Chains A and B, each alone.
Chain A
């Protein structure tokens, strides 16, 4: 039986983690192809809605990554982001999101190896959670099931 291949939406800030992914490419550091990257100027741009939206649309996992605290290209963007993440992460796990579905990291543009490690780790964690059934929209699919 083939193993479950999760679909993961990743949100990277342009200046650090997106750069780390670029560098991982330059360095040919391979990692699983399970995620799709949405490039943001800053993790501060990440509206918590986007995370919920990704789950609602059926993402099995979400990965958010930006500059280390203090390294923000926009001075304090990721400090504000971090507070939002603290609340959202706590909230979602408190109401029953499986730990491992929603992942956060700080990866600087020089940390290609950390990028590779975290990428692998995120995919494995999400894989272990299994398909996202509980946080996806059903109404539409219920309707579709009648015509498909």
Chain B
């Protein structure tokens, strides 16, 4: 029964980093989002990580703003402890039945003080710390969890299991514990569903070889990650579980449960283990205050992503030892350590002792996820990953259901995030007509004008039950606050954040005409937005607010010294009042957004971006410098999944041509750029001026021209793309040829180009298989350094080997030697396994030539976006913002960002469109608030602020010759204000006057 109903809501299942990104992109694009999470809190696997590669960013630091954003988003409804039971209906109009399981804690009452946990008598393995330590039966998943609400483990709670105890209910100061909560089933109406269930790490328990089950000093990598974590069981101190001694040596064993069809039945590569092992090795060495010896035992190091190769090189420089071998036996030692048995690269048996071993276990799909796939009618591959195609990488087999993250294959965080945005774009592609129909807006009264009034500060001091008042003499602080300058009113309150207190505050603000509010309570990081809303509701500009964190920074940490804690609370309140008295209302302005995009580059990335934008109803202009569309894909024969690229391209071009929302300008480049997010004006070399709200750079990259192996001198030596063109053209000479050789890493992974071109290994094995299938007699040799057929592509590598393709490894120091003798091409390579030189006389020598960036300096300068050292466009954040530039309204897609295969290009293109839609969807943008402003009388136009602004938000007004801040781009960091010698820039909300007042009040 087909209906034409389109529902403007999307259900996102899974609150990991991918699910969160998809939810945010959808919610910011005008769709209502139900975020369904099985556990008590969102954050997923990433919340367990200590650091992230290759930047060593602190994982929690970078996701916690996202957690908070999801938690507070008015158009994201967070359903924790919730399971999906059934999906009925079709694309545009699904009915999803879910079960909301009880938390046994009333979320509206819980103040996350932790009193319940202190009193709970039950100790349970702490799954957040991979069972390395214990938690209580009433607990919070992790300290920064969103929602920051406690919950009761129903399986372990004495009250719920045996009906006795109840101590948490007794101590809860907020009366939040409710043992009577019951599960409820509800049905949600949504237009599309995004599944981001994530993975579970492979459990090596049954793998006797590794002795994981019986030796506590053999850990999994995720356990080790928790060990490294500052919030982990040993607070980041690397010690053995058995004796809490610092290990002198650690071995990492790669490919545990991956690339293994014998024991684990997981033929695929888990894609991330090489990198996380390197990361954990580096961090472990950094944490150890001594010379910790770390050895990584690997088969191939797969550092194929952006900046990964350098990370690997850095690890080697730091003294991390890499040994190419698969460990076959782990023998326990008396001292708790392990003796590893393995066969060296040269075929000899060897043993080595270590104090600890870390198993780099792979990513696997859980049975539960597999059940879900079956239940909802979604096709999966042999490893239970959901099936997709290269050209629709986030669409599942059932229309209207999309996926992102590891559900479709092992991948790292940026790829998951990219896919998440892509899934948001794809999921909403059929919902555009319902955009904005279900979303909510906050209505606040217009703020009262307080100009000319002296400050009338209201101070509210929170008891937080006993959390604050149990240590700090709150009445004394109140009395002190009353003596402070400009304080009109001061009082104490049991829970400042409670609903009734909010109402009380609104009333007092109006009654006492308070025009600045100070709350001394908990952290502004969690509660400032709440109180700011209260101010707004009371008709006060929300920026006239300041908090003193007398709980987290005082009562909770100075419990032993109430007198000092009280004194500190007084000082902190005084500081807040001093700053508050100087606060001024901050205005937010709206600027119009041109609802269209300029897409630079007409390749697969650019065209997909334009089409995705068109699905959402946005126009775009695609500028292509060549005379035809398609870019580098025009030269590629087929994808790793054997899809024919030419057919796809034809369809793509036809779709673009037929699309009313897309206009294509061929043979043109960008000449001049003016404006900024929402209001770009780009002049093309054709003279055409384009007004656009966002810009997507998709300028692609190039295949390098090798300078070695007789390339350009001998017609038998060709590059990948040249060879593909021959295959595409059904070249007879190729069909007739009997011997083929491939050399990998030609120009990649070399000192002057220290990166992996990512696609060549897969393309080589794919081509090799093609050759073998066409002619089983053909002799095909692949000379490689590390075979990098990541994720499910490992299967092609295996297939190639099964078909008899011969793989010979070479070292950078002993590259193959290619010479020509008349018609004969001699390829001489040293085989490290046999220790012999092997001579090949191929009919074709195919070089996996490095992919090189276009080094688009001029374009980058025009749009004020950065390039990295290799010339790739540099994203705002390597992990969490892989398609955004730091400059607002600027996005990127495709291989101008970094080499990647077709499916990832398409995903990134869709992602760029999704990110762009979050800007384009609002006809007007709100700007201002805590942003910088320039006092032009003090500006010398020296340009320091312009140079240091991380967001290119400051420019010099050409007429006045003074700096000006573009409020639409300013993020409020204040670097300008501290860099200017004459204090011309000022950061609203954090002015010199305000901060000086705080300093003075502190002393």
A and B touch in the complex (CB under 8 A): yes
Check if A110 sits within 8 Å of B231, measured CB to CB. Answer: yes
Check if B524 sits within 8 Å of A39, measured CB to CB. Answer: yes
Report chain A residues within 8 Å CB of B995.
Answer: 38, 40, 50
Check if A108 sits within 8 Å of B973, measured CB to CB. Answer: no
Task: Kindly state the separation between the CA atoms of A68 and B60 in the bound complex, as whole angstroms.
Answer: 13
Residues of chain A at interface, number, CB under 8 A: 58
Could you show 20 A-B contacts with beta carbons less than 8 Å apart? A15-B61, A19-B525, A22-B525, A23-B143, A23-B144, A23-B231, A25-B551, A30-B560, A33-B554, A38-B1002, A39-B524, A41-B990, A44-B973, A45-B974, A50-B995, A57-B1000, A71-B57, A71-B58, A71-B62, A80-B979
Minimum CB–CB distance from A80 to chain B (whole Å) comes to 5
Which residue of chain A lies nearest to B55 when distances are taken between CB atoms in the complex?
A70
Minimum CB–CB distance from B982 to chain A (whole Å) comes to 12
Per-residue interface assignment for chain B, residues 30 to 66, with 1 indicating a CB less than 8 Å from any chain A CB and 0 otherwise: 0000000000000000000010000111111110110
Q: Which of B60, B551, B990, B992 contacts A108 (CB 8 A)?
A: B60
A31-B557, A68-B56, A110-B58 known, 14 other contacts, Cβ within 8 Å: A19-B64, A22-B552, A28-B559, A38-B575, A38-B998, A40-B995, A45-B987, A59-B1002, A75-B886, A77-B950, A110-B60, A110-B230, A111-B58, A112-B143
Report chain B residues within 8 Å CB of A48.
Answer: 978
Check if B231 sits within 8 Å of A112, measured CB to CB. Answer: yes
The verdict on A30 contacting B65 (CB below 8 Å), with A9-B999, A9-B1002 known, is no
Minimum CB–CB distance from B721 to chain A (whole Å) comes to 35
Q: Does A27 reach chain B (CB closer than 8 Å)? A: yes
Task: Kindly state the separation between the CA atoms of A67 and B999 in the bound complex, as whole angstroms.
Answer: 21
Q: Does B1003 reach chain A (CB closer than 8 Å)? A: yes
Q: Does A36 reach chain B (CB closer than 8 Å)? A: yes
Task: Kindly state the separation between the CA atoms of A15 and B565 in the bound complex, as whole angstroms.
Answer: 24
Per-residue interface assignment for chain B, residues 915 to 953, with 1 indicating a CB less than 8 Å from any chain A CB and 0 otherwise: 000000000000000100000000000000000101100
The verdict on A16 contacting B61 (CB below 8 Å), with A22-B549, A36-B1002 known, is yes
Per-residue interface assignment for chain B, residues 448 to 460, with 1 indicating a CB less than 8 Å from any chain A CB and 0 otherwise: 0000000000000
Q: Does A74 reach chain B (CB closer than 8 Å)? A: yes
Q: Which of A18, A26, A67 contacts B143 (CB 8 A)?
A: A26
Report chain A residues within 8 Å CB of B56.
Answer: 68, 70
The verdict on A113 contacting B552 (CB below 8 Å), with A38-B575, A38-B998, A41-B987 known, is no
Task: Kindly state the separation between the CA atoms of A85 and B498 in the bound complex, as whole angstroms.
Answer: 42
Report chain A residues within 8 Å CB of B405.
Answer: none
Per-residue interface assignment for chain B, residues 825 to 849, with 1 indicating a CB less than 8 Å from any chain A CB and 0 otherwise: 0000000000000000000000000
Report chain B residues within 8 Å CB of A114.
Answer: 230, 236
Q: Which of B553, B556, B568, B996 is packed against the most chain A CB atoms within 10 Å?
A: B553
Report chain B residues within 8 Å CB of A15.
Answer: 61, 65
Q: Which 3 A-B pairs have the closest CB atoms?
A: A25-B552, A45-B974, A74-B973
Check if B999 sits within 8 Å of A54, measured CB to CB. Answer: yes
Task: Kindly state the separation between the CA atoms of A113 and B564 in the bound complex, as whole angstroms.
Answer: 22
Q: Which of B559, B950, B972, B999 is packed against the most chain A CB atoms within 10 Å?
A: B999
Q: Does A14 reach chain B (CB closer than 8 Å)? A: yes
Report chain A residues within 8 Å CB of B886.
Answer: 75
Report chain B residues within 8 Å CB of A72.
Answer: 950
Q: Does A123 reach chain B (CB closer than 8 Å)? A: no
Q: Does B888 reach chain A (CB closer than 8 Å)? A: no
Task: Kindly state the separation between the CA atoms of A40 and B975 in the bound complex, as whole angstroms.
Answer: 11
Q: Which of A62-78 contact B (CB under 8 A)?
A: 67-68, 70-77
Footprint of A on B, CB under 8 Å? 50, 55-62, 64-65, 114, 143-144, 229-231, 235-236, 523-526, 549, 551-554, 556-561, 564-565, 567-568, 571-572, 575, 876-877, 886, 930, 948, 950-951, 971-975, 977-979, 987, 990, 992, 995-996, 998-1000, 1002-1003
The verdict on A40 contacting B525 (CB below 8 Å), with A26-B556, A31-B557 known, is no
Report chain B residues within 8 Å CB of A109.
Answer: 58, 60-61, 64, 144
The verdict on A37 contacting B950 (CB below 8 Å), with A16-B58, A74-B971, A111-B230 known, is no
Task: Kindly state the separation between the CA atoms of A110 and B523 in the bound complex, as whole angstroms.
Answer: 15
Check if A108 sits within 8 Å of B144, measured CB to CB. Answer: no
Task: Kindly state the separation between the CA atoms of A85 and B996 in the bound complex, as whole angstroms.
Answer: 19
Check if A26 sits within 8 Å of B62, measured CB to CB. Answer: no
Q: Does A46 reach chain B (CB closer than 8 Å)? A: yes
Minimum CB–CB distance from A147 to chain B (whole Å) comes to 20
Report chain A residues within 8 Å CB of B58.
Answer: 16, 67-68, 71, 108-111
Check if A73 sits within 8 Å of B236, measured CB to CB. Answer: no
Task: Kindly state the separation between the CA atoms of A111 and B561 in the bound complex, as whole angstroms.
Answer: 24
Task: Kindly state the separation between the CA atoms of A75 and B885 in the bound complex, as whole angstroms.
Answer: 11
Which residue of chain A lies nearest to B971 when distances are taken between CB atoms in the complex?
A74
Check if A108 sits within 8 Å of B1000, measured CB to CB. Answer: no
Q: Does A42 reach chain B (CB closer than 8 Å)? A: yes
Report chain A residues within 8 Å CB of B575.
Answer: 36, 38
Report chain A residues within 8 Å CB of B231.
Answer: 23, 27, 110, 112
Check if A108 sits within 8 Å of B143, measured CB to CB. Answer: no
Check if A33 sits within 8 Å of B61, measured CB to CB. Answer: no
Check if A57 sits within 8 Å of B230, measured CB to CB. Answer: no
Check if B1002 sits within 8 Å of A25, measured CB to CB. Answer: no
Which residue of chain B lies nearest to A21 when distances are taken between CB atoms in the complex?
B553
Q: Which of A7, A28, A71 contacts B557 (CB 8 A)?
A: A28
Task: Kindly state the separation between the CA atoms of A41 and B950 in the bound complex, as whole angstroms.
Answer: 14
Q: Which of B60, B568, B1003 is packed against the most chain A CB atoms within 10 Å?
A: B1003
Check if B65 sits within 8 Å of A73, measured CB to CB. Answer: yes
Task: Kindly state the separation between the CA atoms of A30 and B565 in the bound complex, as whole angstroms.
Answer: 11
Which residue of chain B lies nearest to A26 when distances are taken between CB atoms in the complex?
B143
Minimum CB–CB distance from B748 to chain A (whole Å) comes to 25
Check if B876 sits within 8 Å of A75, measured CB to CB. Answer: yes
Q: Which of A19, A46, A75 contacts B978 (CB 8 A)?
A: A46
Report chain B residues within 8 Å CB of A49.
Answer: 992
Check if B971 sits within 8 Å of A38, measured CB to CB. Answer: no
Check if A19 sits within 8 Å of B61, measured CB to CB. Answer: yes
Q: Does A29 reach chain B (CB closer than 8 Å)? A: yes
Task: Kindly state the separation between the CA atoms of A82 and B930 in the bound complex, as whole angstroms.
Answer: 23
Report chain A residues within 8 Å CB of B144.
Answer: 19, 23, 109-110
Minimum CB–CB distance from A106 to chain B (whole Å) comes to 10
Report chain A residues within 8 Å CB of B549.
Answer: 21-22, 25, 37
Q: Does A24 reach chain B (CB closer than 8 Å)? A: yes
The verdict on A47 contacting B978 (CB below 8 Å), with A70-B57, A74-B971, A114-B230 known, is yes
Which residue of chain B lies nearest to A49 when distances are taken between CB atoms in the complex?
B992
Which residue of chain A lies nearest to B948 when distances are taken between CB atoms in the complex?
A80
Report chain B residues within 8 Å CB of A24.
Answer: 552, 557
Minimum CB–CB distance from B873 to chain A (whole Å) comes to 15
Minimum CB–CB distance from B623 to chain A (whole Å) comes to 28
Which residue of chain B lies nearest to A58 when distances are taken between CB atoms in the complex?
B1003
Q: Does A129 reach chain B (CB closer than 8 Å)? A: no
Minimum CB–CB distance from A114 to chain B (whole Å) comes to 6
